[in-house]
Chain A
Amino acid sequence: MIEVDVGKRLGEFELAAQFTAPATGITALFGRSGAGKTTLVNAVAGLIRPDRGRIAIEGEVLFSAADGIDCRPQRRRLGYVFQDSRLFPHYSVRGNLGYGMPPGAPRDPALSFDTVVELLRLAPLLRRRPHHLSGGEKQRVAIGRALLADPRLLLMDEPLASLDLAHRAEILPFIEELRDRLRIPIVYVSHAMEEVVRLADTLVLMSEGRVAAVGTVEDLTSQLDLRPLTGRFDAGAVIRASVAGNDLVFGLTELAFPGGRLRVPHLGLPLGTPVRARIRARDVALALERPQGLSILNVFAGRVVEVATDQGPMVDVRLDIGKSDRPVALWARVTRRSAYDLRLEVGKSIHALVKSVALDRQSFSPYSRRGTVEE
């Protein structure tokens, strides 16, 4: 478990954050800039000392104001990947990677120098100096450097924020690979919902120095009251599915999830691969009856469970689809006019239409092999 409960006053800003998260997979700290995410991570790393509270990782107490424990940062064994990679300019890439390596063989063979270099494709960079690297390369070296210090937990503070879109796309798969291939839990700070949805298992929502909610990504993104924090533009549902079929004639992949089957453009993944799919509310249309003669391949029968009441021309509607004992949440964004015409209200039977072509590659991420996927 990752247990954090800290208070820290910094001028006008007050951090008072408390959460516990499983020490597996990726825990995302999500919130707007200024929500206190970096301060919280720095407190976990020991770079700032909280005024009060307690921090423990897998039962080992790193900080406890009550017991007078304040483990020094160099003894915490936490890897820290900073937003600005912070490579040492006077060391080569190899020197940077080796800086924190403990003497002797690593306890986890997956963290040997050669394995990490291979995992992050660093071999061609080893002899270079940091100022000859691109932003994405720097971040890969920074990740490798943190991993080679043999951490029990990896802290990543917006590792993609300083990169342009192309370089972000370059780094994301590496982080997914870390998550799936290594056993190191990751605390990932971000203010970009796309990243969180793609990477995280547990979501910690932060706002104004406080933790607003903790839960699985699927749960928190489907809760209407958290919408102001998770973001309206990003509104959507996250479903866990697995590849159930590949239609090579039409270039489609069929995903099975508890709500039914979802046909999407070909993903090129083997059968059975767990996949997380994000279905944005604006890509879902609603119909009162099962439509006929329609180009949309994905139609799910369901029930309205929530209708957002905020003003404006759009209305977000939450639906439950699939079997009633194991419903799957889906969001649809329709105009207020349509909601009025269809007389959308809680409990109404409805059909959700998901346009396959709206689900681009960015909507999917192959999920870990840890077997957390429901059939």
Chain B
Amino acid sequence: MSLTPFELAALELSLRVGIASTLCSLPFGLAAGWLLARCRFPGKTVLDGIIHLPLVLPPVVVGYALLSLFGRNGTLGSWLHALGIEVAFNWKGAALASAVMAFPLLVRAIRLSLEAVDRRLEAAALTLGASRARVFFTISLPLTAPGLLAGAILTFARSIGEFGATITFVSNIPGLTQTLPLAFFSLVQQPGGEAAALRLTALSIAVSLAALLASELLARRLAARLGSPA
């Protein structure tokens, strides 16, 4: 069974969007997770609320908000445009929409993981003469790795499945923004598209399973490195 060009384009786009949104949101997720787990500042509850908004808002609302902000005439959009970055109606926009939708899940996973890091180990590293930065990169970050991995998998899975925000923000353009769910949506809208839709379903299951298996393998290797029973 070989994939049709239509399916191949959707699959390639989905993977690109998934990987890009995951990799690009990780540093921000780490920063937000750190702020929420380790820092005390006024407005922390508000920040927490804003980060969690995409979880409770209808995805189309998030998509519309992104369109207003990042569209060519939006505040951030025109600013990015000046920098030569275009996100409206291309795969980068799809990645942005996915990243925003998945962000609460990512931050949550990282935050929980950071909170679980034994701070006494950080204190021990300090007494050994390590700078704060060294403690972060050699102790805190490696010990947060399981949370980062879990957050990354969630982000990737959310990106592969993202529909509402994406279609509102970047529309459904074959080859440009038509990821697997959007392609699926197009097919079931057409008469006689059920057979093709079934093939896409199988493809989606395969991608998701592969991602899950990969994360499970990674998690085991991490657990072995961090010394907790797998």
A78 lies within 8 A of B139 (CB):
no
A77 lies within 8 A of B129 (CB):
yes
Chain A min CB distance to B135 (Å): 8
B120 lies within 8 A of A149 (CB):
no
B227 lies within 8 A of A78 (CB):
no
B125 lies within 8 A of A78 (CB):
no
Chain B min CB distance to A226 (Å): 32
Known contacts A84-B120, A89-B226, A89-B227; A45/B127 CB under 8 A: yes
CB < 8 Å neighbour of B124 from A46, A77, A78, A80: A80
Interface residues on chain A, number (Cβ under 8 Å):
27
Q: What 1/0 mask marks residues of chain B from 107 to 140 whose CB sits below 8 Å from any chain A CB?
A: 0000000000010110111111111100000110
- Give CA–CA (A191, B142) in the complex, Å: 36
- Give CA–CA (A73, B138) in the complex, Å: 17
> For the complex, is B225 an interface residue (Cβ under 8 Å from A)?
yes
Known contacts A47-B123, A80-B124, A84-B120; A90/B227 CB under 8 A: yes
Chain B residue nearest to A145 in the complex (CB): B128
Q: What 1/0 mask marks residues of chain A from 8 to 47 whose CB sits below 8 Å from any chain B CB?
A: 0000000000000000000000000000000000000111
B129 lies within 8 A of A74 (CB):
yes
| B130 surroundings in chain A (CB, below 8 A) | 74, 99-100
- 7 example contacts (A-B, Cβ-Cβ < 8 A) are as follows A73-B127, A74-B131, A82-B124, A86-B118, A88-B139, A89-B143, A89-B228
Interface residues on chain B, number (Cβ under 8 Å):
21
CB < 8 Å neighbour of A149 from B123, B129, B143: B129
- Give CA–CA (A46, B125) in the complex, Å: 13
| A84 surroundings in chain B (CB, below 8 A) | 120
Chain B min CB distance to A197 (Å): 28
| B226 surroundings in chain A (CB, below 8 A) | 89-90
B143 lies within 8 A of A99 (CB):
no
CB < 8 Å neighbour of A100 from B129, B132, B139: B129
B124 lies within 8 A of A73 (CB):
no
Chain A min CB distance to B46 (Å): 30
- Give CA–CA (A133, B79) in the complex, Å: 56
A129 lies within 8 A of B120 (CB):
no
B227 lies within 8 A of A131 (CB):
yes
- Give CA–CA (A12, B118) in the complex, Å: 26
CB < 8 Å neighbour of B143 from A46, A47, A90: A90
- Give CA–CA (A84, B121) in the complex, Å: 10
Chain B min CB distance to A9 (Å): 20
Q: What 1/0 mask marks residues of chain B from 181 to 216 whose CB sits below 8 Å from any chain A CB?
A: 000000000000000000000000000000000000
Chain B residue nearest to A42 in the complex (CB): B123
- Give CA–CA (A45, B124) in the complex, Å: 10
The 4 closest A-B pairs by CB, nearest first: A100-B128, A89-B227, A131-B227, A80-B127
Chain A min CB distance to B86 (Å): 42
Chain A min CB distance to B75 (Å): 42
- Give CA–CA (A149, B226) in the complex, Å: 23
Main secondary structure of the interface of A (DSSP, over half): loop
| B123 surroundings in chain A (CB, below 8 A) | 47, 73, 86
Q: What 1/0 mask marks residues of chain A from 90 to 102 whose CB sits below 8 Å from any chain B CB?
A: 1000000001101
> For the complex, is A302 an interface residue (Cβ under 8 Å from B)?
no
**Contacts of A67-120 to chain B: CB distance below 8 A:** 72-80, 82, 84, 86, 88-90, 99-100, 102
CB < 8 Å neighbour of A47 from B126, B128, B139: B126
A90 lies within 8 A of B128 (CB):
no
Chain A min CB distance to B222 (Å): 9
> For the complex, is A146 an interface residue (Cβ under 8 Å from B)?
yes
- Give CA–CA (A286, B124) in the complex, Å: 51
A130 lies within 8 A of B126 (CB):
no
| B121 surroundings in chain A (CB, below 8 A) | 86, 88
- Give CA–CA (A4, B32) in the complex, Å: 40
A129 lies within 8 A of B124 (CB):
no
**Contacts of A243-261 to chain B: CB distance below 8 A:** none
A102 lies within 8 A of B124 (CB):
no
- Give CA–CA (A74, B130) in the complex, Å: 6
Q: Which of B123, B131, B228 has the most CB of A within 10 A?
A: B123
- Give CA–CA (A141, B31) in the complex, Å: 34
A90 lies within 8 A of B225 (CB):
yes
| A73 surroundings in chain B (CB, below 8 A) | 123, 126-127
Q: Which of B120, B128, B143, B227 has the most CB of A within 10 A?
A: B128
| B139 surroundings in chain A (CB, below 8 A) | 88
Chain B min CB distance to A70 (Å): 14
Chain B residue nearest to A85 in the complex (CB): B124
Chain A residue nearest to B225 in the complex (CB): A90
A86 lies within 8 A of B227 (CB):
no
Known contacts A74-B131, A100-B130; A88/B125 CB under 8 A: yes
- Give CA–CA (A100, B134) in the complex, Å: 11
A86 lies within 8 A of B124 (CB):
yes
| B132 surroundings in chain A (CB, below 8 A) | 74
| A47 surroundings in chain B (CB, below 8 A) | 123, 126-127
